Structure formats: structure tokens, C-alpha cells
Structure 1
Amino acid sequence: MKRLFAWLGSQPFRSFQLRLFIYLFLIGSIPVFGALSLFYVHSSERSDEEWRATVVAKHDQVQRRLDKELRELEYLYRSWMQNEYVAQLIMMNRDGRLLNETAFRSVKESIGSMAMVQMEYRKFVTDICFTIEEAGSFCTNGNPFDYEEQELRKPANRSDFIIRVQGHKGIGWVGPLYDPANLVIVGSIEIVFDMPRLLGEIRSDHALSDLVLWDTAGDSILFESGRRDTATSPGSSLFLAEKEPFLRSESNVFLSQRPVSVPGQTWMTYLESPNTDIRSLKSTLKNTILVFCTILVVVSIVSSFIFSTLFSRPLRKLRQLMKRAESGDLKAYWMSGSIREIDELGNGYNQMLNRLEETIKQAKLEESLKKEAEIEALQYQLNPHFLYNTLNTIKWVAKIHQTPQISDAVSALVRLLQASLGKKGDFLTLKQEVGLIRDYMAIQTFRYGDTVRMFLDIDPIASICLVPKMILQPLVENALIHGLENSAKGGEITIKAWLDRDMLMLEVQDNGKGMAPPEAGEEALPPGKSAKERMSGIGLNNIRDKIKLYYGPDYKMHIFSKPNAGTTVRLSLPIHRSEES
């Protein structure tokens, strides 16, 4: 099996021409063999029915022929009973003159001459024997001792006829020899009939493979003409066991059995008739299949060669162009003018070359920009460090002059700058994000004092979830500057966080002046920054873009606001935890 799979996967079998030949041969053979099979089944069914009727007719003819020949024997017997020499023989027996050897011999010779004339045109009658109780037996064409002696009963009356088997010589048709004057039975007449020869002629005339005459009383075969096929015949033991008439088919041979009307006997005729139509049909179908296979192979070979040439030539050309492209020639374009499918393949190859060329150009441009960015980054590396040092100096000066509020504000600002400009990753826990908001609110206390208060409602489980860095601070800043600034009542900012199934929900709510549509809602702001963004640093669209960048389009930001009723910004994010938690 492994060798078979190895051969199937070998290079010769993978060739386009060989595969095309196999496909064409299979596609062509399916309808051909399907049609031939349908024709065979239909023809065999019709042939079976027709041949069954033919066998019935043949057996009828066999029966009629046997009945005719047996009636001929009875007719021959009656003609002998009316023969003048037989009448003389009976008269001599009645008068006691049979002892006159000369007269008896003369009568026998006359009877023998007439019998020989009759047997010339009755080819199945081989002998005629006469038996007289007072004078013994004599035969016209042989010796009485040539025939088998059997202990049989003698004819009891004028209409009592007996048929006995004479071995391989045939049968003996026995009728009473009686005196017309007193109707006394004085002997018998036996007509020897060559039954094997008759069966052979019948078998030859009707094209039978076997014809059997057998006795149901003794379960024995009497005569058989032909030869039973051991491969198809059920065997003598089977049909001898079936003493009822039947007609059936076995292996394209019809078997038929019927009783024969024979005086004093229970004989059966059994015949075998081969279905020559089926055999002829099989032979014709075999020859037809060979012819169609030969034609199909030739057509498949020629067609596969033509089609493979038409397809492989442009494919070889396209392969050469690809090799040129591999060597660096990106101008090795395919020129249309072939089969539509191959032209589509060539056009795709051309598009690939164009995209490859554009990709190379883009890669070179990005490499150039990357180098410029690296240089620029090196130039500005000192700026954050200088800013941190300056703020730390301000913090220490504030402590020296005993102004802790300034020191705390500067410390909070340093932490915000470190979180914003640091390189510790793009995510931090919600707890750390809330800490940055506390720092931001500590700075804003110098501006707003106690007029603005912040409330936190954070689920402990949600506090350990990771969120994008600085995702809430811009929302708090927006609430302060544009929601609570210039507000007559005391400002409140509420930050909530909870888990809703597989979502982390974040919400920043203020009780400020709110805003009117179309500023509220998810699509309230235009894609670009505008005057109505009302943000410091980054805008709402930047937050949307950050959410889309990190989590995809299924996670969004929603804004709910009414004039003089405050604004609520809600973020729906996936639950994201660090490995340490």
C-alpha cells in the first residue's frame, strides 16, 4: 500500500498530461459502460423471458415427438395383428400345425421379409419379436436371446400393452397376440425401439445440451442423450429427487422436467437448454467493450496531448517570467493573448509584481523615516529628563520655603508626566489609573479648591483589570473644564467601574451643564479635532481610536448628556488581567 501511494505521488503521475488522460478516460468510460450495462440488463431480462418461452415450446415438441413415436408403435402392432402371415401363424397354433417345421419356417420367413421392409422406413424400429406359447420365440432381425430376459407379466387382454427397457438397445413395446376366432391370447408381439437414437435426434433438432428419460418409480435414468455440464447442471441426484414438473434457470441454462404418457410406466423427461442468447450477448458485449476501450484510450491520448499542449505552453512562458522576477526583474510582465483562465492568472501575476514593487518602495521609505525618527528621538531624549529635574528642583524649593501644597502639586505632576511619557508599557491596572486621576485632581485643587469633589465607585475585582494608560484622565479633565467650570452649584465627578459578564464597564459622570445634541451621543463629534471637542491634550476621537486600535470595532465609547443635567461617558472594554493577578 505504501508503494502504491508513493507511486501515486511520484513525478510521472503528477504530470498534467497523464492526469488529463486519466480524467478523460474515466469521464468517457462512465457513460459508455453505464449504457452498455443498461443494455445488457435490459437485453438479458428480455432474453430470459423469451428463452423461457422457447424452452417451454421445445419441451412441448419433445413430448409430442415421443407421443407420436409411441403411437406409431401401437399402429405398427395393430398392422401386424391384421397381417395375413401372422393370421396363418395363429391358425397353425390353433390347429396344432406348428410342429410342422417346414410350414412354420415358411411363415417365419414371410414375416421376416415384411418386417425388414417396414424397418427400412421406420428407422427407430430395430427388431420385431414374436412369442408363441406352444412354439417359443423368434425375431425378424436378431435372436431372442440378444435381449435382456426380464420377469415381466404377460398381456392379460387384448388392450393390455407393456413397455419394457431393453438395456442400452432401447425399449420393447409388447402387445398381446390373440386368436381372432376365440379371442384367446396365444402369445405376444414385441417391437424393439431404439430410444437412445430417438433422444439423440430430438436433442440435435432442438439444440439441447442434455435430454434424459428416467423412471420415477425406480429413481433411475433409463436413457440419456447428451452430456450434463457439471458446472451448471444440478446433478442427477437432484432432478431425480424432484418428481414434480419444473422449469427454472441456473447459470444461463434452463432446466425443464415433465411426465411422459407411457402405458404402464411413470416416466419423466428432463432436458437442459443453454441460453445461447445470453452467451451470445455476453460475447458481443465483451467485444464491444474491447472496441470502445480501444477507441476511448486512443481518443483520450490524443485529446490529452492536444489539451496539455494548449495549456502547458502559456504556463511554461509564465514560469519563465516568474524566474525572471525571482532574479530581480520586476518588469517581467505577462502579456495577455492566451486562454481566459491563464490570462487571469497572468494578470494576477502582474498585480503581484506591482504590489511587490510598491512594497519595496514603501519599505525603503519607512526605513528612511525610521532613521530620521531615531535621530530625532536621540535629539529629544534629554528633554523629559531636564523637565523632571526642573520640577524636582521646584519641589525642594517649595519644601525649603515651607509650602507643602506646591510640593504636593509638583509631585503629582511628576507622576502624571512619568505615566504619560514613561516607557513602562501601554497598559496599567485600573487601580493605578485611578491613582493618576487622584494626582490630577490634587493639581486641580489649586484652581477649583473645594468646589469640585470626586467620588469613586470601583468594584474590587474590576480594580485589578488592565486598561490603556491615561484612558480616564482626559475624560475627567473634560468634565472639569467644560462641564463644571463656571457652574453655579458645587461640582461632582463620579468614576464608576464594574464587570458586566465578559465586559469591563468604565463610567465618568459629572453634574455640570451638559451639552445639547448633536454634541451628545456616540457620533456627536466629527472625525477630526474641532472647537467643540472641548478637550485638553487629546480629544474624544483619540480615545475612540485608542479603543479601536487596542480592542477592535466591537468595543466603543458612548456619551449621554442633557443640558443642565450633566454628562456621562461610558466605555465598554474587554476584561484584561495581568498574569501576576
Structure 2
Amino acid sequence: ALPHGVRDLLPDFKEGEDVVYRTMGDLDVFIYPIPRERCYMVFLIEPKSILSESWHLMTVVVISLVSGILISLILWRSMNRRVVQPILQIRASLDRARDGVHLPIVTGRGGEIEEVEELVSSYNRNVRYIDELAEKLSEQKTRYKDLEYKALQSQINSHFITNTLNAVRWLAIMQKATNIKELIDAFSRLLKSTWQGLEHDTTIERELSNVQDYIFIQQITHSYNCEIFYDVEPGLLKAPCAKFILQPLVENAYFHGIAPKGGVGTIRIGIRPDGEKGRIIIQVTDDGVGMDRETQVQVLHSQGGGSRFNGIGISNIHQRLQLKYGEEYGISIESEVGSYTKMTVVIPWMETGKEEGETNV
């Protein structure tokens, strides 16, 4: 059933005959001979049909391409809003923190993307925690400065200065004693240590020197009726420590432990290492009147040290040590009424510290 004229185009059977292509009106004719089977394969194609099919295929391709682009844009916008934007906000926030700017809260949400939601929530929790730590640190710095100021105000009170100067005056007029120079030197060293402030650490050796100067002055001004015994590990003398933690303990041990008891008393100062925990243990023990448990709590935790104690309050030293080194450090009290009082100071064992500045007195 070949169209008219196509049969005339059939070639003779020859081995290896090529495909015959002819154009007949609106038809493209392709003839492929198969000699073995003594037959032909004839293809009749209308170019218009092919073109029509091509346009239809092109339309499908274009529509598919446009649809793919639109879907990609929608997905990108959604991912950008729910994933990219929160991550970019976190990065920008961290960049601001690196420049010293306060960390902001990230407002982007992860929606139904659980991982992004958890990331944003975790970041915001950490930001709030950092804000709380910063506020707490600021309060602690303010509190520490206030304690430093109170310590400096109380270190040498007006009565102590007046009594010392009166002693110097009367010694100069009546006795003309050679120990006047020693008294003035000791007093000057105490003033120098006080005026240098609390900004830098001192050493165990300098704290002991302050105690010795203080005791020397008190022996002259108050006929200090007390024996002092030292048990100090030599290797700790150069160890750094906070200022004004030893002399106030000795002062309180005498005036509020031994003096009320009457007679000759003893104060023992022991300083030893706690190598296993990397700490230094300082103990000041007196054989005075002691104190009950309620008084111990008042002395250790009252603001200002309690009305019974003058100078730097024990609570002031305790709070300063905890703010400076941590809550595991500070002062503890062991006492028995009518027998003894032992005050134990625990500080970290550091190998080096900042040197004090020079102040002329």
C-alpha cells in the first residue's frame, strides 16, 4: 500500500545498498533494502508533523524549565528564611562580639527544621547566660572594689595613728631612747604597705614583715603582753598572696582573744603548703577567750566584720579572697569558748606574682 511513485523508487537488491532518500511532495521517503530477506523497509515522514511534534516537545521542555526555576526560587527563599538567615545572624552576632559589642539575641526561627530551631535556641540561651555572667562579674568587681576601699579605710584607724604618734612624742621628750628610730621605721613600713593599695599581690614574706612591724609598735604603745611563735615553711616566703590578710588576724587574736582573758597569751602563726591541692594554708591560733558558734558565724559573714571587731573585719578578708580566687578559698574558724580560737586561711599556691610599686613614706 505504498503511495503512487514510491514503488518506482525501490532499488535493486544489492549487498550493502545504502538507504535511499527521496522527497515526494510533502513526504520524505526513506528506503532501506534488506537483501537477505528480499524486502524493504520504507519510512514515509511528513516534515510538518515532525515540526509540530518538535514545538510541542519544546513547549514541554520550556514549561518544565520555568517550573523548575520557580520551584527552586521558592525553595531557596524558604531555606534562606529558615536556615541561612538565622545562621547569618549568628555569624554577625559573633563578629560584633569579637569587636567588643554586646551580643544580640537572634530573632530568626528554624520553623519545622528541628536542627536549625535547636541551633538558634541554644545560641540564644548561651547569649542570655553570658549576659548573666557579665552582669554578675560586673557586680563582683564593684563589690571587690568596695571591699578594697573599706580595707584601706580600716587598715590603720585614727586611734592607732594617734597612739603611735603620742608614743613617739613622749619617747622623744622623756627617754630619748634609741628605739625611737626603730618605731618610726616600723610605722613607716606599715604606712607604705597600706598606701600601695590592694591592686597587686604581695608575698608571704611581706605579710609576715607587716605582722612583725605591727607587733613591735603594739609592744611599745600597749605593752603588748603576748608571745608570738612562727612555724613557716621557708619555701613559701616568696609565694604571692593577697594583701592585708595576716596582720588583721593577729590583731583580732590579741585584742578580742588574749586581751579580754588577761595575763600572758600566745599567738601561733603557721604557714604550710597543701601540695596535693595546690594550696597554701595559713593558720593564726590564740589561747584566748574563744567564741561560740553564733559569734563565729557573725564574724565570718557580717558586713563590716561585726561590732566586736575593729580594723579590717574578718568577713572583709573572707569575701575578698573568695572574689579574688574563688568560693573554695577564704577563711574558716575553729574555736572553743574559754580555750582557743584558730582562724585558717586557704589561698591558691601561685609561683609568681606582680611586684608592688614603690611609694616613698
Bin for the TM-score computed over the shorter chain:
0.5 to 0.7
Residue 527 of structure 1 pairs with residue 295 of structure 2? no
Match of 2:327 among 550, 553, 564: 553
Which whole-Å CA distance do the structure 2 matches of 1:471 and 1:314 have between them?
Answer: 57
User: Given the alignment, which residue of 487, 509, 520 partners 2:285?
Assistant: 509
Write out aligned runs for 1:109-148 (5 A). none
Deviation at 1:550, TM superposition (A): 3.7
Q: Identify the residue that residue 238 of structure 2 maps to in structure 1.
A: 464
- Cα drift, residue 493 of structure 1: 1.1
- Residue 316 of structure 2 is matched in structure 1 by 542
Q: Distance in 2 between matches of 1:429 and 1:511?
A: 27
Deviation at 1:544, TM superposition (A): 1.9
Written as runs of structure 1 = structure 2, the 5 A alignment for 1:293-372 is 310-318=78-86, 334=107, 338-339=111-112, 341=114, 342-346=116-120
Distance 1:543 1:533, change over 3 A: farther
Query: Structure 2 counterpart of 1:339, which letter?
Result: E
Matched, 1:445 2:219: yes
**Does 1 or 2 have the higher relative contact order (CA < 8 Å, sep 6+)?**
2
Give a deviation string over 1:525-578, Cα, whole Å, max 9, x none. Answer: 563426746432322222222332343333342211001101011223333334
> 1:489 matched to which residue of 2?
263
Contact 1:334 1:347 in 2 (8 A): no
Deviations 1:356-408 (A, max 9, x none): 9999999xx99xx9xxx9xxx9xxxxxx9xxxxx9999999778642555554
Aligned length: 255
Cα displacement (A) at 1:454: 1.6
Asked whether the 8 Å contact 1:484–1:512 carries over to 2, the reply is yes
Normalising by the residue count of structure 1, what TM-score does the alignment of the two structures yield?
Answer: 0.35
- Find the aligned partners of 2:187 and 2:165 in 1 and give their Cα distance: 13
Q: What CA distance in whole angstroms lies between the structure 1 residues aligned with 2:164 and 2:259?
A: 30
Q: C-alpha separation between the residues in 2 aligned to 1:478 and 1:530?
A: 14
Q: Which residue of 2 aligns with 1:217?
A: none
Q: Deviations over 1:261-307 (max 9, x none)?
A: xxxxxxxxxxxxxxxxxxxxxxxxxxxxxxxxxxxxxxxx9xx9697
User: What are the superposed Cα offsets for residues 113-150 of structure 1, whole Å, 9 maximum, x if unpaired?
Assistant: xxxxxxxxxxxxxxxxxxxxxxxxxxxxxxxxxxxxxx
User: CA offsets, 1:160-193, max 9 Å, x none?
Assistant: xxxxxxxxxxxxxxxxxxxxxxxxxxxxxxxxxx
One-letter identity of the residue aligned with 2:282: L
TM-score when scaled to structure 2?
A: 0.54
Q: Measure, in 1, the Cα distance between the counterparts of 2:242 and 2:287.
A: 26
Root-mean-square deviation (CA, aligned residues, Å) is 5.0
Any residues of structure 2 matched to 1:361-440 within 5 Å, and which?
Answer: 401=173, 402=176, 404=178, 407-422=181-196, 426-440=200-214
C-alpha change, 1:572 and 1:565, in structure 2 (3 Å) is same
Match of 1:577, SS state, is coil
Cα offset, 1:474, TM superposition: 0.9
Taking the aligned partners of 2:129 and 2:274, their CA distance within structure 1 comes to 45
Q: Could you tell me how far 1:515 is from its partner in structure 2?
A: 0.5
Amino acid in the other structure paired with 1:514: G
Q: 2:295 corresponds to which letter in structure 1?
A: E
Q: Residues 345, 473 of structure 1: CA spacing in aligned structure 2 closer, same or farther, 3 A cutoff?
A: same
Alignment of 1:127-206 (within 5 A): none
- Higher-Rg member (1/2): 1
**Uncovered stretches (5+) of structure 2, i.e. residues with no partner:** 1-67, 150-155, 157-161, 355-361
Per the alignment, do residues 347 and 414 of structure 1 end up closer, same or farther by CA in structure 2, a change over 3 Å counting?
same
Moved more, 541-550 or 317-326: 317-326
1:478, CA displacement in angstroms? 0.9
The alpha-carbon distance between structure 1 residues 492 and 335, as it changes in their structure 2 partners (threshold 3 A), is same
Indicate how the Cα distance of structure 1 residues 531 and 545 shifts in structure 2: closer, same or farther if over 3 A, else same.
closer
Name the CA distance, whole Å, in 1 between partners of 2:119 and 2:185.
Answer: 65
Name the SS for the 2:322 alignment partner.
Answer: helix
> In the superposition, relative to structure 1, how do residues 499 and 392 fare at CA in structure 2: closer, same or farther (>3 Å)?
closer
Per-residue deviation at 1:465? 2.8
1:432-465 superposed Cα distances (whole Å, 9 cap, x missing partner): 2111101111222244315222222223233333
Which AA in structure 2 matches 1:420?
T
Relative to 1, partners in 2 of residues 1:423 and 1:448: Cα closer, same or farther, differing over 3 Å?
closer
Does the 8 Å CA contact 1:409/1:442 hold for their aligned counterparts? yes
Q: 1:553 to 1:533 in 2, by over 3 A?
A: farther
1:563 counterpart = 2:337: yes
Unpaired runs of 5+ residues, structure 1, are 1-300, 378-383, 385-389
Q: Secondary structure at the match of 2:187?
A: helix
Deviation at 1:510, TM superposition (A): 0.7
Tell me the CA shift for residue 466 of structure 1: 2.8
- For residue 449 of structure 1, give the secondary structure of its aligned residue in structure 2: coil
Deviation (angstroms), 1:505 = 2.3
Going from structure 1 to structure 2, the CA distance change for 1:406 and 1:361 (only over 3 Å counts) comes to: same
Q: CA deviation digits over 1:324-347, x for unaligned, max 9?
A: 97899x999736583364455555
